[in-house]
Structure 1
Amino acid sequence: MTKPTLLVLAAGMGSRYGGNKQIDGFGPSGEIILEYSIFDAIRAGFGKVVLIVREEILEATKELILPKVKGKIEVDFVIQSLQSFVPEEFQNPARVKPYGTAHAVLCAKDAVAEPFAVINADDFYGKEAFEVLGKFLSNGVQPNLHAMVGYAIENVLSENGTVSRGVCEMNDANQLIGMTERTAIAREGEKILAKGDGEVLEIATGTPVSMNFWGFHPAVFSDIESMWKEFLPTNQENLKSEFFIPTIANNLIQAGKAAFEILEGGKTWFGVTYTEDKPGVIEALKALHEKGEYPSNLWS
Structure 2
Amino acid sequence: MNKPTLVVLAAGMASRYGSLKQVDGFGPHKETIIDYSIFDAIRAGFGKVVFVIREEFEEIMRQNFDEKLKGKIDVAYAFQNFDLSRFGVNRKIERTKPWGTAHAVMCAKEQVQENFCVINADDFYGFDAFDKMAKFLTQDVSDKNMALMGFQLGNTMSDYGYVSRGVCEVDEQGNLKSVTERTNIYYVKDEANDTKIVYEEDGVQNELDFDTRVSMNFWGFTPHIFSVAEGLFPDFVENNADNPKSEFFIPTIPDYMVKHGLADFKVIPTSSKWFGVTYKEDKPIVQESISQLIKDGVYPEKLF
Q: Report TM bin, short chain.
A: over 0.9
Matched, 1:247 2:247: no
Q: What is the deviation of 1:212? A: 0.5
- CA deviation string 1:178-224 (max 9, x = no partner): 01111111111221100122222100121100000000011111001
3-state secondary structure, aligned to 2:214: strand
**Matched residue, 1:282:** 287
- Note the 1:25-44 alignment, pairs <5 A: 25-44=25-44
Alignment of 1:198-277 (within 5 A): 198-277=203-282
Deviates more, 1:287-296 or 1:142-151: 287-296
Tell me, in whole angstroms, the C-alpha distance in 2 between the residues paired with 1:266 and 1:82.
37
- Residue type of the alignment partner of 2:292: A
Q: Which amino acid aligns with 1:239?
A: P
- Which segments of 5 or more consecutive residues in structure 2 lack a partner in the other structure? 190-194
Shift of 1:86: 5.4
Residue type of the alignment partner of 1:240: K
Distance in 2 between residues matched to 1:230 and 1:119, nearest whole Å: 25
Aligned residue pairs total 298
Pair 1:141-2:146 in alignment? no
Provide the TM-score with structure 1 as the length reference: 0.97
Deviation per CA, 1:102-141, whole angstroms, max 9, x where unpaired? 0000001111011000000000000000000000000100
SS in 2 for 1:105: helix
Q: Which consecutive unaligned segments of at least 5 residues does structure 1 have?
A: none
Q: How does 1:42-57 map to 2 (within 5 A)?
A: 42-57=42-57
C-alpha distance in 2 between matches for 1:19 and 1:297: 24
SS of equivalent residue, structure 1 residue 245: coil
Runs of 4+ deviating beyond 4 Å? none
Are residue 298 (structure 1) and residue 289 (structure 2) matched? no
Measured after TM superposition, the shift of residue 268 of structure 1 is: 2.6
Kindly state the Cα deviation for residue 87 of structure 1 after the two structures are TM-superposed. 5.5
**Residue aligned with 2:111, SS:** coil
Structure 2 counterpart SS, 1:11: coil
Q: Is the 8 A contact 1:129 1:266 kept in 2?
A: no
Question: In structure 2, how many angstroms separate the alpha carbons of the residues matched to 1:22 and 1:147?
Answer: 25
Query: Residue type matched to 2:228 in 1?
Result: D
Give the letter aligned to residue 296 of structure 2. Answer: K
* In 2, Cα distance between equivalents of 1:147 and 1:29: 34
Q: Over residues 36-77 of structure 1, what are the superposed CA-to-partner deviations in whole Å (9 max), with x where a residue is unaligned? A: 000000000000000000111111011101111100000000
In structure 2, the residue matched to 1:13 is 13
**2:91 maps to which residue?**
90
Paired AA for residue 252 in structure 1? M
Residue identity (%): 50
Q: Distance in 2 between matches of 1:72 and 1:119?
A: 19
Amino acid at match of 2:280: T
- Read off the aligned partner of 2:282 and give its amino acid letter: D
* Secondary structure in 1 matching 2:150: strand
Is the contact made by 2:89 and 2:234 (CA closer than 8 Å) also made in structure 1? no
Per the alignment, residue 198 of structure 2 pairs with 193
**8 A Cα contact 1:14 1:20, kept in partner:** yes
SS in 2 for 1:264: strand
Aligned ranges for residues 168-179 of structure 1 at < 5 Å? 168-179=168-179
User: How far apart are 1:25 and its partner, in Å?
Assistant: 0.8
| Contact 1:48 1:75 (C-alpha < 8 Å) held by counterparts | yes
Distance in 2 (alpha carbons) for counterparts of 1:236 and 1:218: 27
The alignment partner of 1:256 has SS state of coil
Task: Give the TM-score, by structure 2 length.
Answer: 0.96
After TM superposition, give the deviation of residue 20 of structure 1 in Å.
0.9
State the 1:97 CA deviation. 1.4
The whole-number CA distance in structure 1 between the counterparts of 2:100 and 2:271 is 23
1:214 partner letter = W
Change (3 A) 1:53 1:252: same
Contact 1:147/1:260, CA 8 A, preserved across alignment:
yes
Q: Which residue is equivalent to 1:104?
A: 104
Indicate the SS of the match to 2:75.
strand
